[in-house]
Structure 1
Amino acid sequence: MDFPTTERQASFLQLADRLAEAFAERAGEQDRSGEFPYANFADIRAAGLPALVVPVEFGGWGGDLLDAIMVAEHLARGDGSTALSFVMHMQTIGSAVEAGGWPQAPLAELCRAAVERGALVNSLATEPALGSPSRGGRPQTIAQPIYGSDGTITRWILTGCKSFASMFPVLDYAILPAALEDGSDEVGRFLVAVDDHFRVERAWDAIGMR
């Protein structure tokens, strides 16, 4: 089957192609210098693309998995690294919507931020001792509960180290798996706004992966 098959798909791909043209002009120098492609993500935000897979009920474009795949493939024609990183944003929101299980308030906050200000998100899960959490295992990142006067948990303090964080220089939100230190022996996933409480250690050359 040839794509696009609908006018809606065609409009998504036309937008992706325009962005890819600009990405391609910068890609060579960024590969040589290792510079993060800030301009690429500024273009993505300006185009409204972070809203692609956000449901219409939150003001998004309501794109599906096929839309996301096609857009990523066209973006990659200009810069594969940027496209792959943006896939992580789409995957994070798309899986949250499709799989369910999120409380409504943080899901709505994340989706509306993507629509209203082009907010970007990624899940930061891989750790030095754990490796990929897809293989199982308990993260060494911990979440310490803070209790109110009535004995209920009012907030959590997270402490830990992640091995890498694709797209981090432009992330607005991070999803952080952490071992809960509340006696439950469970692992929680926290939606955290990226701010100056994070510290980045530039320990290796990412080559073409930015």
Structure 2
Amino acid sequence: MAKREAYFSVDVEADGPIPGPYSMLSFGMSACGTFDGDVFAPVDPSKETFYAELKPISDDFIPEALAVSGLERDRLVVEGRDPAEAMNAAAAWVAEVAATANASSVLVAYPLGFDWMFLYWYWMRFADDGSPFGHSRHLDLKSLYATKANAMVTRSTKRQMPADLLSDRPHTHNALDDAIEQAELFHNLVRWTGPPK
């Protein structure tokens, strides 16, 4: 068992609210640090990354959801990666980065539920060895903030967070850009001791 954890910030763009009936169109991952139980060691989240755009898995989509990412389904039908190939490549990348750090992999997202639901479903459905994060090695940044801030979850949105916790990077709805931006939020939350008393 590894004595450290390696954290991966992830972001998903999809054309609907759930996987299966709808498709994950793209996802980005960024290696963002390690923790040995005592010391968190952040790393530049733009250095080790993974990004994929996928072929849709169904004909159904919600136009409003599709519009968020700006991705074109017709292009992805032709140019997108096969989901099995992409999910296997992503799992291998996570395993390689974690092994280099002699660490167990942990997925981080804000909020976790949407991104984890799509990624876990896709890994279990398409990847040969399932999820590189098992079924539960994940951390919700919204819950981390709510706990440290002693705030209600409904009052733990980015708009309600102190500005110095947020990344200076723009939120572009490109999955890799947003994974890197989110990694910087993670770095700040780990160091944050909470609001002034």
TM-score scaled to structure 1, two decimals?
0.29
Higher strand fraction (1 or 2):
2
Q: Which has the higher contact order (CA 8 A, sep 6+)?
A: 2
